[in-house]
Structure 1
């Protein structure tokens, strides 16, 4: 635990924390920010990990990051190392990255390409479907390799996105969202994309503060000058602040998208998942400083550079911007009660050549600045919440409705899973 975690420890055991969390979430006001402990107590953070991040579907990466059989990538979900690999049948699979011998991590690099999966500790070897192939003669004649395959995790792919769920039983239903995602992502052909740049920021803030900050643009005019060169502040087509002028502009853009068969209408699946295409400011095509394309090769079958940004929300850990020449995906990984990793990836057509078709610094500049600004905002938010003076404050139903929706989803999800945990 960090020093901040110890200073803010409110509970002496996990069961007391579970009972109090259940009571707190049932009694909370939807119009107010959460009570202090839900942002900084290590026991309540543990419950977040157990009841949200270990039971819900999480975005972990893109299928183009494992482009061929034997290509793998690794991620950390709390204290759970996870391995994603493409097998010889071209299926993307997920496993707990834990050797069945003595528990060492099997793959230690962030990404790689292998014929089989070999643990570096004692060379136990698994095929790409997780079956144990080799454990050495030392295990004896009666050793049954079939009982010691890698433990699988639930894994689904759609539209180039990879989602993993660590639930022990049946995972939550996600099929309707995945079907829509496949349809909306079809123009981009993300199997034929590549990661052009990647960054990971460590933020000294609770993961919920990171998501809350993303779910509103109330702070944008005072904090994000680079982003607002192209971004319209409306959250989506249902934003209560949307003006008649914006709606008319959207209608003109939508007519162009319809002619090209580009999906754009707002679709949502509860409060957890939402897809909507939003135009950028008139005269701008993508999120760069001058609003001009950052890559000369468009993605997939796209012809029109004025596709705006198709925004994809997946709670609890991802928001994304799909544009005509590049896409930007974000992944949130909680580390402790007051530490969160935010990974950003910029993807372009796989045939685009750095220095010829795109310049990396220009591609990533706007969101590099925005991410740094958001990190400062989240960290200052956390420091204020840690104060004895903090008490839950009111949300604006117009400017912060996205935050209200997020916390409604969070509270409903935790309460649902706590009940299943037989509180």
Structure 2
């Protein structure tokens, strides 16, 4: 376990300007009096002022997963990423690198690109045709009588970006958290063999959940509710998150089957030189992480009804389909499943205090042919259904948090990762508001 990190990323503080002092005092009090081991007080899920604070203290300060390299494979390819008040353009430049630009024209603030994704040469604002190159430099803003216009003062604003093991992260802070370098070194060896640069997007699903972003993340961080995921339970052991001593009687056989499958998986990982150990530093780092390689039920290959592979093409330099799943959680907004035959990325983008966009992307080998090597409906079935079920669970919690009868409830032992997420969130917000 890594030691606690005494590091607070720096941004231009806007919270004190946007919220009156009495509301700031309320927020500080809610954070300082948070009861460990219990869910948050209702305002954390329902109050627009708390959402404003979250967007500055969390999403304005920390590294956020935005997309995979498969979504922007060629120069000029872009995706737009929106969360809270922010809109970003994630663009592959001519040198093969990534530029992240604020999607706000420097003329009168119009959105420059309005599609979720696409390919572009220059970036042209459709309002008055101000034109920027891939670096965000203003190259055209001509108008009668404006010969002395200083174009160099009005380039698009930029954000920080990192591309690690095929994943693209963005950060809006003036000085991003430095410990992300250490976290990248942790997960690169796990993800590298899957070679995301040699994958393509098979499908992407966007769901708007009527729930606060923290409820979305809390729901993801536990499997206490996994009885509500019948499709997923065919391949994901429902004992995930449980330990000896807290196994219910009806899951004892499943628990033993899980242990046997994990032993066999670890033997294969040692044979192929793949890391599999659990690294769990969810609330002891600024960039909290949990990663491991874990067995799947049935054939142990993929998220199917039988656990068998869903694509005939192995990813990267992997040599065996029966490698379970490499599962990774990153604070604050993402989780991932890396399998031998495909990868699934998940990202949560807050819209407002009661809505969150959940984006799920399925990646397959770039030479896999739909209808020949994989069936798209079969590939996406388990997690499409699971996402809809999770949407329902999150929305049940959001409606409950809005009730006057709501009060914080205790987390169970198997929900320790939910507690770790909330502990991380509270610590980061306290640092920001200090």
Q: What TM-score results when the alignment is normalised by the length of structure 2?
A: 0.89
Deviates more, 1:310-319 or 1:241-250: 241-250
| TM-superposed deviation, 1:106 | 1.4
Partner of 1:407: 422
* Structure 1 residues 238 and 329: CA distance shift in structure 2, 3 A: farther
- Asked whether the 8 Å contact 2:313–2:368 carries over to 1, the reply is yes
* Structure 1 residues 212 and 317: CA distance shift in structure 2, 3 A: same
Superimposed CA distance per residue, residues 370-394 of structure 1 (whole angstroms, 9 cap, x where no aligned partner)? 1111111111112122222111111
In structure 1, C-alpha distance between the alignment counterparts of 2:330 and 2:151, rounded to whole Å: 38
| TM-superposed deviation, 1:17 | 2.4
- 5 Å-filtered alignment, 1:42-81, equals 42-81=48-87
Partner of 1:123: 129
* Structure 1 residues 387 and 207: CA distance shift in structure 2, 3 A: same
Aligned residue pairs total 406
Q: Would you say 1:264 and 2:276 are equivalent positions?
A: yes
SS of the residue aligned with 2:101?
A: strand
Partner of 1:371: 387
- Asked whether the 8 Å contact 2:70–2:363 carries over to 1, the reply is no
Superimposed CA distance per residue, residues 100-150 of structure 1 (whole angstroms, 9 cap, x where no aligned partner)? 122111111111112222222222222212222222254733323222221
Q: Would you say 1:294 and 2:294 are equivalent positions?
A: no
In structure 2, C-alpha distance between the alignment counterparts of 1:406 and 1:199, rounded to whole Å: 25
Residue from 394, 405, 415 that aligns with 2:410: 394
Superimposed CA distance per residue, residues 161-190 of structure 1 (whole angstroms, 9 cap, x where no aligned partner)? 111111134445311112233222111110
- 5 Å-filtered alignment, 1:15-414, equals 15-136=21-142, 138=144, 140-221=146-227, 223-235=228-240, 246-247=258-259, 249-271=261-283, 272-396=288-412, 398-414=413-429
- Asked whether the 8 Å contact 2:61–2:176 carries over to 1, the reply is no
Unaligned residue ranges in structure 1 (runs of 5+): 1-11
* Structure 1 residues 255 and 138: CA distance shift in structure 2, 3 A: farther
In structure 2, C-alpha distance between the alignment counterparts of 1:107 and 1:183, rounded to whole Å: 35
In structure 1, C-alpha distance between the alignment counterparts of 2:208 and 2:180, rounded to whole Å: 29
* Structure 1 residues 109 and 366: CA distance shift in structure 2, 3 A: same
In structure 2, C-alpha distance between the alignment counterparts of 1:286 and 1:237, rounded to whole Å: 21
In structure 1, C-alpha distance between the alignment counterparts of 2:115 and 2:345, rounded to whole Å: 21
| TM-superposed deviation, 1:82 | 0.3
In structure 2, C-alpha distance between the alignment counterparts of 1:149 and 1:270, rounded to whole Å: 37
Q: Please, what is the CA RMSD of the aligned residues?
A: 2.0
* Structure 1 residues 237 and 308: CA distance shift in structure 2, 3 A: farther
